[in-house]
Amino acid sequence: MSASSSVSQPHSASPNRVLLALMPAALAALTLLDIASVQPNRIAPGQGLNLWAIMGPAGVLLAMLPLGVCSLAWRATTLRLRWALCLVVLAMIALPLGLAAFCRVFIDPGAPYARVGLAAGFWVLLFVFMLALIEFKASLRLPHGSWWGLGALMLGAWGLSLASGMLDKLALMQEYLGRSDKFIEALLYHSLLVASAVGLSLLMGFALALAMRRWPRLERGINGVLSLIQTIPSLALFGLLLAPLAWLADRYEWLAALGVQGIGAAPALIALVGYSLLPMTRNTFVALGDVDKGVIESARGMGMSPSQIFLQVRLPLALPVMIEGVRITSIQAIGLAAVAALIGAGGLGTFVFQGLGQAAMDLVLLGALPIIAMAVIVDGLLTALAGALRQGVRHD
């Protein structure tokens, strides 16, 4: 009598569908779209160049990179995803170095006004690789230090290329070099405007949330007013503030001495605070109300006073959710502060609207890219802070 034995088959890893959808887009951008263009000056249109015009047959080697990521993502084990992550990080590091080589080869040193523009293929590649990094972040449980290290490598490649002057012939860098002083001033002003709006909305939102907890009848009215402000388009709200502020500045000299007028920073700050109050107030109110009642009762049983319970128990436990409100408010304010340039508030939005008026897309990017980078950095830092606070609460 023969005994039958069963042989266990190893479980095959499932494909990563996100990467399998992203990498063909990267391959199409590499092979079908122009990567960069060469412009004789700021006004003249540039001549677009694709991968084959830039690298010739050697471009096949670069086109193999998305295919390599696809092959690794087809059976998405942890080890294979890590190798795929290495390929994407390598591509992100190669982008600035490749641009530097392109500037050196395709720009004539005797043409002082010649510049290199970034074409659609470059932006698609950058966008796709960033989405891939987000997918890796969700799929791979790597230590936070590893992600910070990889980010430092990628940013370091860009920083090294920019600091060395190898990218000075980029049209974007040409716009920056011609306005470096104004750019730094606009960046600082934009940051100060956002920080002021978020700080004021944090204080006011906290006070309103406490008032709603103390007098529940106020909740409906406060939420209604703040929701109404949110429904007003930003440009309309800026316009509504022009006449009242101009009248107040004309009537009261001390307000005019403080810089309050119909245009400029005053209406921008008021509008940003108004837009920021709803998420700040609502998150703070919900965070304070969602603290476990059993914990509060335990604190009372230990003889803690109401102020001690609030400061030592309720507020620390609510802080992670409150930080989420600060994160949402900050990102919203960073974007809306750009629109405030239309009423003379300054900031990075000035370059965006100047570029649109002059049909100079690189000038638009000079204002838009720092806004995007600022929002991503603030989002990452506040998300990390909220996560650290949650971990601290769990350990306590």
DSSP string, 237-292: HHHHHHHHHHHHHHH-HHHHHTT--SSSHHHHHHHHHHHHHHHHHHHHHHHHHTS-
CA–CA separation, 238 and 220 (whole Å) = 26
Give the chain's radius of gyration (CA, Å). 27
- pLDDT greater than 50 at residue 4: no
Least confident of 67-71, 230-234, 361-365: 230-234
Least confident of 14-18, 39-43, 178-182, 189-193: 39-43
Under the banding of pLDDT at 50, 70 and 90, the label for residue 368 is very high
Pairing assessment for the beta strands 47-50 and 115-118 based on DSSP bridges: unpaired
pLDDT at 374: 92
Under the banding of pLDDT at 50, 70 and 90, the label for residue 7 is very low
Per DSSP, the three-state class of 115 is: strand
pLDDT at 240: 84
Average pLDDT over residues 119-127: 91
pLDDT at 9: 40
10 or 162, higher pLDDT: 162
- pLDDT greater than 50 at residue 208: yes
Q: Is the dihedral of CA 166, 171, 174, 180 positive or negative?
A: negative
- pLDDT greater than 90 at residue 393: no
The reported pTM is 0.83
**Residue of 189, 222, 155, 209 lying closest to 326 (CA atoms):** 209
CA–CA separation, 233 and 239 (whole Å) = 10
Average pLDDT over residues 246-264: 78
Per-residue pLDDT of 283-315, as tens digits, reads 898 888 888 788 888 888 887 888 888 888 888
What structural domains and CATH numbers belong to the chain? Answer: 17-177 (no CATH), 180-395 (1.10.3720.10)
- pLDDT greater than 70 at residue 395: no
